[in-house]
Amino acid sequence: MPKMLSTGTLQNSIYIEQNYKACFGMLMLQKKYGSDRLEAACNRALTGTRVNYTLIKNILERGMDKSVPASEVSSIPLHDNIRGKDHYQ
């Protein structure tokens, strides 16, 4: 995933040279936090609309790569007391 983001970062820019630092920064994040955490941060960043180095760095610094995003948490707990759609006709 980090390789895909780096490639996408380079391909989506007008001047490729401007994004070399961002790609190098991703390599430094991998050395600092490890491949697994960087992978999780990239996956979390891809759920948003805009992905960049700063976003991934912030996710790693705040430990958000270790937590489950709010959209994946079920808002209604599953139990027998919840009525189905047939009760509301």
Per-residue pLDDT reduced to its tens digit, 36-83: 999 999 888 888 888 888 999 999 999 998 887 666 556 666 777 777
Rg (CA), the chain: 19
Q: Is a pLDDT exceeding 80 seen at residue 84?
A: no
pTM of model > 0.85: no
| Domain boundary assignment for the chain | 2-66
pLDDT of residue 57: 94
Beta-carbon count within 10 A of 37 CB: 17
pLDDT of residue 33: 94
pLDDT of residue 74: 60
